[in-house]
């Protein structure tokens, strides 16, 4: 069995953990097993100092419970058979199971409450296509970046909207608590308030509203918008240059409102574990696993 097959098979095991977590199988705090640090004694002239240092096991728990907003294709989603899949899911497997040698479990939570849920101890970390920004840094710490994304706009193919300026007066759908919602708010300010925002608990509801003609456009991450638009003949990206081109990035051929980096979210007091995860992320990138997973979910 090659590593690719192993990853696909492993995702089914994770789905079982997800279901248990969502049906009363225990919360993030109680599911994590941590071992107290053992005392290391140092002898100086035959005397014991009594100092303690953290053991490897106390830094990295035997099971990592991960908060995530599901569904959010292609980062985390369930198949019709209940199998949990996605880019974040496979990165989690590579980091925690393969590099750190521990179990992991995804726990569903709404994105607009995901940070308070982390800080209340419902789970140990956040992996949910979460953009690193200054506002969130006030409440959580982040791993090193592991993905670059853009806030983009999708519209119906027969829409009269053909440029960013045409969005003035339109009704735009966003997901609550996301940087897509923040980007749309900034656009509303730019248009002197001449923009209507409709906020949804999950992005599939916004997608359905677009198809039903209840909204004119959606502002959301490029890869998630692409996952939806690529499966339909009647939805396209709004074209135009934007933030990526302005920052000198290798800009995609559509309007970009922001350039963002995703990170894994940690509680403020979890520095030792965050360091271990950063080391594992670096190893995953170095050994080619990251590129292999990336090519499974994204083209180019």
Confidence of residue 186 (pLDDT cuts 50, 70, 90): very high
Q: Determine the average pLDDT of the residues in 280-300.
A: 93
Q: For the segment 223-281, what is each residue's pLDDT rounded down to a tens digit? A: 999 999 999 999 999 999 899 989 887 788 999 999 999 999 999 999 999 999 999 99
In this structure, what DSSP letter does residue 260 have? E
Confidence of residue 300 (pLDDT cuts 50, 70, 90): low
- The pLDDT of residue 249 is 72
Least confident among 49-53, 85-89, 182-186, 198-202 = 49-53
Q: Which phi-psi region, left, alpha or beta, contains residue 288 (left: φ > 0; alpha: ψ -120 to 50)?
A: left
To the nearest whole number, what is the mean pLDDT of the chain?
A: 85
pLDDT at 167 over 90: yes
pLDDT at 12 over 70: no
Token pair 């135009």 is found at 240
| Beta carbons within 10 angstroms of residue 206's beta carbon | 26
Q: How far is residue 160 from each of residues 42, 133, 171, 226, measured CA to CA in Å?
A: 74, 33, 13, 20
Terminal C-alpha separation, the chain: 27
Confidence of residue 57 (pLDDT cuts 50, 70, 90): low
Q: Determine the average pLDDT of the residues in 175-194.
A: 97
- The pLDDT of residue 70 is 95
- The pLDDT of residue 56 is 53
Cα angle, residue 151 at apex, residues 188 and 264 outer, rounded to 5°: 120
Where in 34-102 does DSSP place strands (E)? 43-44, 47-48, 63-68, 77-78, 84-85
Q: Determine the average pLDDT of the residues in 125-129.
A: 97
């Amino acid at each position: 069995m090659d590593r690719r097959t192993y990853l696909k098979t492993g995702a089914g095991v994770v789905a079982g953990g997800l279901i248990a977590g969502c049906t009363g199988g225990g919360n993030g705090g109680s599911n994590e097993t941590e071992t107290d640090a053992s005392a290391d004694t140092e002898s100086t002239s035959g005397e014991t100092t009594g100092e303690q240092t953290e053991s490897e096991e106390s830094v990295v728990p035997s099971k990592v419970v991960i908060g995530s907003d599901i569904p959010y294709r292609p980062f985390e989603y369930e198949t019709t058979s209940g199998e949990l899949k996605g880019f974040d899911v496979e990165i989690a497997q590579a980091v925690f199971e393969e590099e750190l040698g521990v179990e992991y479990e995804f726990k569903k939570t709404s994105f607009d409450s995901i940070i308070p849920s982390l800080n209340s101890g419902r789970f140990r970390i956040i992996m949910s296509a979460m953009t690193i920004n200054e506002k969130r840094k006030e409440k959580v710490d982040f791993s090193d970046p592991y993905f670059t994304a853009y806030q983009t706009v999708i519209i119906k193919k027969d829409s009269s909207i053909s440029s960013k300026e045409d969005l003035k007066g339109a009704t735009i759908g966003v997901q609550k608590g996301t940087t897509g919602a923040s980007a749309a708010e900034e656009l509303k300010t730019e248009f002197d308030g001449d923009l209507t925002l409709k906020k949804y608990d999950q992005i599939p509801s916004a997608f359905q509203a677009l198809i039903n003609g209840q909204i004119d456009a959606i502002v959301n991450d490029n890869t998630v918008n692409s996952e939806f638009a690529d499966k339909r003949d009647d939805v396209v990206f709004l074209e135009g240059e934007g933030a990526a081109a302005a920052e000198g990035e290798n800009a995609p051929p559509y309007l970009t409102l922001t350039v963002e980096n995703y990170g894994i979210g940690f509680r403020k007091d979890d520095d030792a574990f965050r360091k271990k995860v950063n080391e594992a992320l670096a190893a995953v990138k170095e050994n080619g696993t990251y590129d292999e997973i990336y090519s499974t979910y994204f083209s180019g």
